[in-house]
Structure 1
Amino acid sequence: MSGFWPVVLSEGGLVLRPLRRQDAKEYVEVRRHNAEWLLPWEATNPDPGYSLPAFPTLRRLLNGQARQGLLLPFAIEVDGRFRGQLTVSSFQWGSLMSATAGYWIDERVAGRGIVPTAVALATDYCFSGLGLHRMEINIRPENAASLRVVEKLGFRDEGIRERYMHIDGKWCDHRTFALVAEDVPFGLLDAWQRTRNRSERDFG
């Protein structure tokens, strides 16, 4: 998988791209503004001495892991501004050919279809560009906003994983959702856009 990074994906005013040095100021502002909003949902390290690296170190770590073929760490850019992140990780090759997607978005632009579009773009790249077969997303059962994302995109609910991930000081249950390439023969973005257009026609 080495050599697949950097990659830039786009649809309309949405761009998925590597983090850049010049994102530092907006990254800090967006993270500060959304600290409380993201707290119940973001993965944490159970080591009490761990703290998230400062932006320059984080950017180097993520892009370094991407060059090694371990991650796809996208910045979510909306209308030219940094607004969140989407990371594809846990790549499994051989007989599985799968990966896991995770994301967060600035609450000020939530509810506009940005996250479903971003997930669709990344999934299509993984399916058609990297040859993966399965994309997985794990969500806390209480996270209504993220549950709506996978519902809109047609991910299947595969059930509960008990105490699956450490979040905000405790091990939390997650629901696992998955999609395979055969589910979207013309691509997930195409399927999502068709669903979105039908919804807009139905509800005006």
Structure 2
Amino acid sequence: MLTKTFAPITNFFNQITIFCLQLLQVLRAKTGTLWIAYCEIMWIVSQCSFWTAESIVREAFPPFVTIAGFTFTCIQLVLVFFLIQGVRTFRLAYIEVYMIGVCCRMFMFLSFFLTFLFFFIITNDDEQASSDQFFHRFLIIKMIFTCVYTLLKAYALYTAYRCYSYIAKTRRAIAHLTIFEDPKRFVLSASKN
């Protein structure tokens, strides 16, 4: 008899404990995700500097490539702001937009990597001048950076997904806690239907 009397209270405290543990996980994932967002902002600043230097100083790329570089950098900035706002305000849709953008960027970088790898393999080393050798070394360095960047994007996607899943779990825990707050409210609403 006594256990039946205190069962709702014990259940409520168990729910509070689960909620607090999930909130702690959200805060850890939130901090890690915000650090990744700030690191991406530093990367965006370096990309803006790179494309500005390429367009003004060297003029090594055609104008449409430079414009595409600036465009992708601006899109990346918008996606990072979506991530920051999603984490700060616990909006799952904003984090989803960021994760979709990261998947698209990873696909873009992998296709870029495979294209350059294809050009690197099909070129014949016997017929190249010394300037082409420099291009090959530059291409190897670019491919290494592309691989590292894609791995970092995969880690950013994983961290954003962890934050997304913890926020979703916390929302479910909060919704589950509100059921135990006022049982009469749900009994009355059920009897009206």
TM score, norm. by length of structure 2: 0.30
More strand by share: 1
* Structure of larger gyration radius: 2
Larger helix proportion of the pair: 2
